[in-house]
Chain A
Amino acid sequence: MSERTPSFKDVFIKGAVIYNPVLIQLVGLCPVVAASTTLKGAVMLSAAMCAELIVTCVIASALLKKIPRWIRVALYLLIGLALICPALWYIETQTLVNLSLGMKIYLPLIAINSVTAVHCEQVAVKNNVKLAFYDAAAVSIGASAVFILVGILRELLGSSSLGGIHLDLPIAFKGMLLPFGCLVILGFLAAGLKAFLAWAYPETENESDPVERQRKTPSAEENVTEVELFDEFWNVSEEPEEVSMDVSIPEPEPEKEKKPEDIRLETAADIDEFFKSLGIDLNEKGDKR
C-alpha cells in the first residue's frame, strides 16, 4: 500500500458531496434555515463559516489533541467567537455595511455550529494538520454551496429579487422566506443529491443517509448505553484518550483490530477505512477516483 496523503480531490468528493454536511449529515441547519434568506446573507454566512471551520479545525489538529473532549468542545466555541466577534465589531463600527438584526444574531451563532464540533472531532483531532485543513475546506465548500443555492432560491421566490436587485417576477411567495420555505428547498436538494449519488456512487445509496440508516437498524437505539453519546449522536468514532468502550457501529473489521489512536487518514485507503469505521463502506467508490 503506497503511503500518500489523499489528494484534496479525494477528500473534497467525500466531504462536500457524498457526505454533504447539510443535505446528508444534517448538521449546520440553523444558519441555512434561519438566515439564508438572501444571496448576500448566504454569502456572508458562508464566508464566516468557512473561516471559522478551517481555523478551528487546524487549531484543533495542531494543538488540542491531548485535551479531553469535554473541554475541547467548549474551546471550539471560544475559538469561533475569537474569530467572529472582532470581524463583526469591525463591520459594525468601522464600515458602512448595514447588517440586519438577524445577521447580527446569527453570525455569532456560527461559532457554535454543529458542523465545527462534528468535523473537529471526526477528523481534525485524529489526523495531521494538512488533512484537517483539507477536510475543513471540503466541508466548508459543500455547506457554502448549499447556503448560497438556498439563498438564491429563497430570494428569487420569496422576494422576486436577486442580490438586492428587484426582478419583477410574476410570483412572490413570502412563505419561502420562512424556515418552512428553506426546508422544502432542502428536501428537494437532498432528493436531487440522493439521485445523483445513486447514479454516480451507487455503493453509497442510503448508507450515507442517517435517517435511512436509523430506519434500517432500529436496534441502534438499544445500544446507546454502550457508547459515548457524542460518538453515537454525531457518528463520530471513539476518542483515543477516553476510556475504551465497545462502539456498536456495524461492519467491524475482524482482520484489522486497529486501536483508535492508530487511525490516521494519511492514505486514500485510510480514508475509506475511516468511513468504514463509521459504518459506511465506500471502497468501490474510492476505486473510481
Chain B
Amino acid sequence: MKFISDLLMTALYTVFIQNLVLSSGLGMSEAIRVSTRPGTFGKFAVMISGFSVITSAVCSLIDNVPAVENATYAVRAAIYGGVLAAVYLVQAVFMRFVLKADSKLLGTLGIAALNTLVLAIPYINNSAAYSFAGSIGSGIGAGIAFVLAAALISQGSRILAENDEIPEIFKGTPAMFLYVAMLSLAFAGFTDTNLFA
C-alpha cells in the first residue's frame, strides 16, 4: 500500500507542483515542438514515461550500491547517461529488428528518450531522496507533465495565432516565449515561490 501511495504522490507532485517542463525548463524545446502536433501527445506521453520509469528504476537501484552512494556528480552523470543510452539502444534494437519498426517510429523514440527531461529524472530522484516507488512515480509523472505542458502550449499557440492585436514584431516565437513565461509563472505559484526579494 505504501508503495502505491508513494508512487501516486510523487507522480502527482511531479505533474502539478513541480512540473519539470514549465518550472524547470527540462525538455522545453521538445515540448514546444510537440505542441504543434497534438496527434502525437499520447505517443510521447507513453514513451517519455516509459524511458523515465526504466531509467529511474535502474538508476535508483544503482544509487543503492555502496560504491556509488558517495560518488561525485561527475561519476553519477556518467552512470545515468550510460544507463539512458543503454536503455534507449536496447529498446531501439528491439523495435527495429524484432518489431520491424519503421524509421518514423524510431525517430519518435529517439526524441522521446534522448532529452534533458528523461536524463534529469535520476538526478532529481537522487537529490530528493525518493524511494524506489517514488522514483517510478516521478518517471511516470515526467511523461504526463511533458504532455500537460505541450497541451497547454498547443492551446495557447492557437489562441495567439488568431490574435491580431499582438504587435507584428512579437508575433510567432516572441509571443510564444511570453506565453510560456506566463504558464511557468502559474506553476511557480504552486511552489510558494516569492517573486520579490
Contact surface of A with B, Cβ cutoff 8 Å: 23-24, 26-30, 32-34, 69-71, 73-74, 76-78, 80-81, 84-86, 88-89, 92-93, 101, 104-105, 107-109, 111-114, 117, 160, 172-175, 178-184, 186-188, 190-191, 194-195, 198, 206, 209-212, 214-215, 220-221, 224-225, 227-231, 233-234, 242-243, 245
Interface contact B193-A178, CB-CB below 8 Å: yes
Which residue in B75, B80, B88 is a CB contact (below 8 Å) of A89?
B75
Q: Is the CB of A109 within 8 A of B120?
A: yes
Bound Cα distance from A112 to B102, whole angstroms: 24
Instruction: Count B-side interface residues using an 8 Å CB cutoff.
Output: 72
Question: A108–B173 contact, CB under 8 A?
Answer: no
In the complex, chain B residues 182-197 whose Cβ is within 8 Å of any chain A Cβ: 182, 184-185, 188, 193-197
User: Do the beta carbons of A228 and B77 come within 8 Å of each other?
Assistant: no
Of B3-11, B28-36, B136-144, the segment with at least 4 beta carbons within 8 Å of chain A is B28-36
Which residues of A have CB within 8 Å of B24?
33-34, 179
Residues of A contacting B84 in the complex (Cβ-Cβ under 8 angstroms):
77, 112
Which residues of chain A come closer than 8 Å to B127, judged between CB atoms?
A: 101, 105
- A186→B185 CA distance, assembly (Å): 15
Q: Is the C-beta of B78 less than 8 angstroms from some C-beta in chain A? A: yes
Given contacts A105-B120, A112-B81, A174-B197, contact A191 B170 (CB under 8 A): yes
Chain B window 56-89, contacts with chain A (Cβ cutoff 8 Å), 1 for yes, 0 for no: 0000000000000000111101101110110011
- Cβ-closest chain B residue relative to A99: B73
A88 touches B73 (CB 8 A): yes
Interface residues of B in 126-180 (CB under 8 A from A): 127, 157, 161, 169-178, 180
Q: Are A34 and B25 in touch, CB under 8 angstroms?
A: yes
Contact A29 B25 (CB under 8 A): yes
Contact B29 A114 (CB under 8 A): yes
If the complex has contacts A34-B26, A228-B107, are A26 and B33 also in contact, measured as CB distance less than 8 A?
yes
Which residues does chain B contribute within 8 Å of A224, judged by CB atoms? 37, 39-40
On chain B, the residues within 8 Å of A74 by CB distance are 85, 88-89, 92, 110, 114
The residue of chain A having its C-beta at the shortest distance from the C-beta of B78 within the complex is A85
Q: Which residues of chain B come closer than 8 Å to A26, judged between CB atoms?
A: 29, 32-33, 173, 176
| Contact indicator A221/B37 (Cβ below 8 Å) | yes
A114 touches B181 (CB 8 A): no
